[in-house]
Amino acid sequence: EMGFDIRKQQFNPTPWSLSNGGPKLHRIIIDNVRSVPKLTEFIKLSEIPTDMPTMHPDRDGYKSRYVYGTAGIRDIGWFPFNSLVKFDLDTDQVDIWRPSDPQVRHYCVTSEPYFLPRLQQSDSNDDDDDGWLLSLLHDVANNVTELQIFDAKHLSTGPIWSTSIGKLWPWNVHTTFDPKLY
């Protein structure tokens, strides 16, 4: 994936991530009213290496004010992802969460965030961020994996709840949620 070939390279993501700028958040708008769809907008929204974007599930396919993702904010390179990011697409503000402990920050991997809306929610588009973000933190420095829950309105303040789910898991970068268990 993304140019890495395990048969030809030793797994050290830092040199590989230095060889490219990483994925970036873009806005893509397609006019699909015509008989042949036409690309009308393709704009890079940020230089922060960001992947696995998510938003309020009711906004999928529609204009959304907020987008969340996993980000690579490291001293050297950008991969593996070690942070979470929130983009306000109306104001261009960015809210970033990184582990506060430098040792953990250097040796951690964050999973794709999952947006979970609050059950009691208004119909206003201003509430695109009214919910929680769930993400796994693979903390290599402490040999543990944690489930972390963030208030989606205030990402940079850090998790409002976290729990160890055992020893260090293999990287689990993608996320899903079963609402029947919620």
pLDDT in tens, 97-110: 998 777 677 778 88
- Looking at per-residue confidence, does 112 or 1 come out higher? 112
Give me the torsion for CA of 27, 32, 34, 35, rounded to 10°: 130
Q: Which tokens in the block code for residue 181?
A: 């268990």
**Cis amide prior to 80 (ω within 30 degrees):** yes
Query: Could you tell me if 96 and 155 are in contact, meaning their C-beta atoms sit under 8 angstroms apart?
Result: yes
Asked whether the predicted pLDDT for residue 3 surpasses 80, the reply is no
- What is the C-alpha to C-alpha distance for residues 124 and 10, in angstroms, rounded to an integer? 50
Asked whether the predicted pLDDT for residue 53 surpasses 70, the reply is yes
State mean pLDDT over 129-141. Answer: 90
- What is the C-alpha to C-alpha distance for residues 72 and 47, in angstroms, rounded to an integer? 11
State mean pLDDT over 81-94. Answer: 93
The predicted structure's pLDDT at residue 7:
60
The predicted structure's pLDDT at residue 1:
44
Asked whether the predicted pLDDT for residue 160 surpasses 70, the reply is yes
- What is the C-alpha to C-alpha distance for residues 49 and 35, in angstroms, rounded to an integer? 35
Asked whether the predicted pLDDT for residue 78 surpasses 60, the reply is yes
State mean pLDDT over 46-65. Answer: 89
pLDDT band for position 181 (cuts 50, 70, 90): low
Looking at the DSSP bridge assignments, the partners of residue 44 are 26
Residues of the chain with pLDDT > 70, as a percent, come to 81
Considering the entire predicted model, what is its pTM? 0.82
State mean pLDDT over 131-153. Answer: 90
